[in-house]
Structure 1
């Protein structure tokens, strides 16, 4: 039975159609990626499914409970992550998370009440019947409390918060003090901890760094419920979804598979549609020509028949690749820089006691594209601001090369006249730049002003069509602000671009257009981004900034990740081997009871007699401390064998053909390594306890002998 069923759902904003006759079903454990260009209605459809907004026609059925226009009370629980976040002012982060377990708290309160009644009833006159009834009710509440997550509330809270980048000290922070991005992460963590039957996620990777995104991917892959997620992160969609719902031109189509499969299927569908459209147009042209030639002649009857045939034809739409809204852009430098575009020498930066990076030395040559990666708060934006001169370093120097013209796209996308219009920003702000990427440009510095028509044509390439050009900048969405900033940046004709999270708020088609523009750019790029696919397409080198350190990798993002993963695996193997060597050395220095027994077997009759003295019988029970040592040794052997098997599997090249299996093996390897480290620590403590107990034995024996002589 479907968890959610959409039946001919239609939505208008005023007189503007958003989508029409949307029908689909969501099955248990299904993971759906809801995709489409910005403005196609993805967030609107998600709000309708969540019951946050009515539709104008059609129905939404949730777990069998049908509601016209809006999802009403349901037996299945829906968890909705909107792009905004409401929270309780004054709460600590932990208290805000505990709100996800409100039902468990209510059940716990009822359980406390029943406990009081049972205590009173046990000695009261009402007898055992009432007590039995209360106990049955209490038992049922215990089951409900477990289902509501009451028993593992703390584990869920900490697991989700730590997975999304928070740390133990953050739990007591007041939520009002958190940044906007941190609050979004709290909202996501709270939703995941509540464990609903269906997760409805709108851009969940916004404000997450790569480590948190990868944690979320693992979480969603193993999630017991169903998921509908809106995202423009291609790698994220490939890793998490098994179906795609695509909104385009007010219609929705469903495709099996992840995003990469969808792209291939859609391309084939567009090719088929193009061929069917071409054939139909040929048929229509022939029929129209026949009607035109013979309508008034002696074949008028046949012409009338063909005219009726024309009227009955269901017209195939002309296929469009991107719904007509993708950006069309090209960065054209007005001058060629010297061979060295950027030289960074020994720069360092710290804020208070926290060092972000120190002694960074690098050179970026003309034509290189440097990707900058690292966790949130590691210093990526700070590094870019030092390069652009917006922030001073504590030490070191930054020098731009000969003839370098710098262009900057900041993460906050500021620098506009907020009261002006989109057209003002381009037409009045760049009237002397016609030759620098504007309509009719042929390169070089243009001396002529644009006409209004040329400016509007140029803005249309960035998705601003019709009355959109008259929008005030202050009302623009995040995606519109980024597109406007890119439109202005192209006009500047720069040959060194410094981009801070340029794909934020851009839809998939716009990201692709930006990828192509950067890949074809004849200048130099330094770009910080959490979009792994984007970096994979554009970066020729990667600079990692993390934990106060920095490192350069010669290759794209995939090369960087493969290198880091291989080093982590080698380190894990080395640590496991070192721990095993330490254990072997300790065993040689502190022989176990088994080795003592083996060595005693060949020491002659005297040793045998000594071993058979009263109180030291062969086969006497081991001390509890020695038994614990041997138990841990057995577990260590098992974990070492498991880790060796996993390392062998990681060394097989064919493993990486199956991405999901590879990730599982890596995760298993990390788990086994962590468990082995814990076992080694426990073993060392047990050995110390066993030695202490052994040292105490002679004193105990002497005391017993003295007592027997007395």
Structure 2
């Protein structure tokens, strides 16, 4: 069964087509990753499918009504002054309205005795409907989902609009978890989430009972969740079964097949051209030799017929000819380390740091960065990853301890905010300001990072965030630095550009200190890890990200952990049974049931919190 069918979709901006001739279909139970370069129109296409904008052309068949869809957006327009708790409840529209109405009627019952009969009737009807929809179970699910997503009770009364980007994403996910619509559309659900939440989200998407369509640049997320990848281009939307690795394998097979077909067509073209030349030559010779002899003139004309037949075959070949596959431009220049011979570039000793009025993020921290090191910093949001980079980059000073640099160490710092770019410079000018950079080299480099021809004369102020990221990275990469300190260098970048960044960093001869949520980037570049935790001292893991993940996955539970897991299972079973019991007859019994369920939910959350702490700290 299909959830969605669309054909001939087209959308224009300013008279120019963003995409056109787009056909797509989504089947029940699929997890579809919509994939494509920045600016191709993925978010616009999602908004059109959701009915929020009118696409320029095309038809959309929705097999389930839009009321049974759910969505997660990059930018949330709604929310206003709603509290976090109200925002999550608001996702279940009817239950939220009933809950609000019951509260209002309870207030009126306590203050307006004269009209209590009519109010009581309204209350009774609303209450019956609320119970019919399992309203008390819904309230428990709301709180449970908020805590599962690490949105603690202290946040619930705060205005939704004041949340951070990651917290807003988690609140939207909580609203979807509570409601469980048949079809959900997620626009960049992995943005702003740390590793722990990403792992949780992957498991949730895989286990979701409905159908999922999402846009994400996180290749690990696509690999672990997608059953189908849809590649959106300007004139097409092609389906590839599997995750990102499967997609890459199929694209490589397509490229090789196209190369083989192109080579065969080139050979056939040469044969046809040679035949045409030969028949033309024979005709000229035969016609000249025939003179006025009709028999020989007729024989010579047969060569003309054969030549025309070959010409028609050549025209058909040109019409059906495939394009020669074009490999993406690559950086072929090799950077030199300028004779830097020392082994240690940076050393931190007993360093500590705290922001004013806040608990210390680092205490007695020690770190040595040597030549050839590729250090990735892991940890949850708020653990101090960016702070550590700023200490290393000299943007912050420790409150105690020391940060020492070798005299020849030259640090290039990439900030998430991109504040070190001159907005009035052109793309070309920004690279020409680098030491010994020629215009020819600058144009080649910009071309490798998808800035073509006259685009190199655009001002940086006119670029998108993704384009600014590319420029900032190139200035650092070719700036003759021997230690790159990179804070989320691939934010705002599409997958194609991320892979070019990875390729460049693999060739880089200096050292790297890196913070990123891009697990592909960590796997391909890091050879050592620093693991930060809000509650435990920093740990150094002397290995790759694969080794770090494997070590955590393969560890058996000890006796205490096993006991906690068993207890947690019993409590969850008890909660599930309570939620399935018949509806209590009296209000008092209903309130007792709700309180018991809330108590069980709090105990489960506490046990899982202890388990998470052990999982984070044990591998090290």
Give the alignment's TM-score, normalised by structure 2.
0.79
CA drift of 1:111 comes to: 8.5
Deviating more after overlay: 165-174 vs 371-380: 165-174
SS at match of 1:505: coil
Give the alignment's Cα RMSD to 1 decimal: 3.8
Spell out the pairing of 1:28-39 with structure 2 (5 A cutoff).
28-39=28-39
1:317 to 309, 313, 323: 323
User: Corresponding residue for 1:476?
Assistant: 463
CA drift of 1:200 comes to: 1.5
Deviation readout 1:401-437 (Å, 9 max, x if unpaired): 352221111122221122433233223x33x432xxx
Matched, 1:84 2:79: no
Provide the C-alpha distance between the structure 1 equivalents of 2:381 and 2:369, rounded to a whole number of angstroms: 24
2:540 to 533, 538, 552: 552
Deviation readout 1:435-454 (Å, 9 max, x if unpaired): xxxxxxxxxxxxxxx34x55
User: Corresponding residue for 1:58?
Assistant: 58
1:154 to 139, 144, 155: 139
- Number of equivalences: 550
Q: Is the 8 A contact 1:17 1:250 kept in 2?
A: no
User: Corresponding residue for 2:510?
Assistant: 523
Matched, 1:433 2:436: yes
Spell out the pairing of 1:328-367 with structure 2 (5 A cutoff).
332-351=336-355, 352-367=357-372
Provide the C-alpha distance between the structure 2 equivalents of 1:137 and 1:579, rounded to a whole number of angstroms: 40
Q: 1:13 to 1:300 in 2, by over 3 A?
A: farther
Matched, 1:573 2:559: yes
CA drift of 1:78 comes to: 2.5
Provide the C-alpha distance between the structure 1 equivalents of 2:220 and 2:311, rounded to a whole number of angstroms: 51
Q: Is the 8 A contact 2:449 2:500 kept in 1?
A: no
1:500 to 468, 487, 492: 487
1:304 to 308, 317, 335: 308
SS at match of 1:355: coil
User: Corresponding residue for 1:393?
Assistant: 398
Provide the C-alpha distance between the structure 2 equivalents of 1:395 and 1:40, rounded to a whole number of angstroms: 49
Provide the C-alpha distance between the structure 2 equivalents of 1:302 and 1:5, rounded to a whole number of angstroms: 49
CA drift of 1:331 comes to: 5.2
User: Corresponding residue for 2:522?
Assistant: 535
SS at match of 1:85: coil
User: Corresponding residue for 2:221?
Assistant: 236
Spell out the pairing of 1:149-228 with structure 2 (5 A cutoff).
150-228=135-213
Deviation readout 1:664-702 (Å, 9 max, x if unpaired): xxxxxx989949x99xxxxxxxxxxxxxxxxxxxxxxxx
SS at match of 1:354: coil
Q: 1:140 to 1:189 in 2, by over 3 A?
A: closer
Q: Which ranges of structure 1 fall in alignment gaps of 5 or more residues?
A: 65-73, 125-130, 435-449, 581-631, 640-669, 679-710
CA drift of 1:291 comes to: 3.4
SS at match of 2:325: coil
CA drift of 1:261 comes to: 1.6
Q: 1:560 to 1:331 in 2, by over 3 A?
A: farther
Matched, 1:279 2:293: no
Q: Which ranges of structure 2 fall in alignment gaps of 5 or more residues?
A: 109-113, 284-300, 575-602, 612-620
Provide the C-alpha distance between the structure 2 equivalents of 1:473 and 1:190, rounded to a whole number of angstroms: 39
CA drift of 1:160 comes to: 3.9
Deviation readout 1:351-405 (Å, 9 max, x if unpaired): 3242212111122221011110100010000001001110111111111235222
Q: 1:139 to 1:284 in 2, by over 3 A?
A: farther
Provide the C-alpha distance between the structure 2 equivalents of 1:158 and 1:328, rounded to a whole number of angstroms: 54
Provide the C-alpha distance between the structure 2 equivalents of 1:114 and 1:406, rounded to a whole number of angstroms: 65
Provide the C-alpha distance between the structure 1 equivalents of 2:333 and 2:381, rounded to a whole number of angstroms: 30
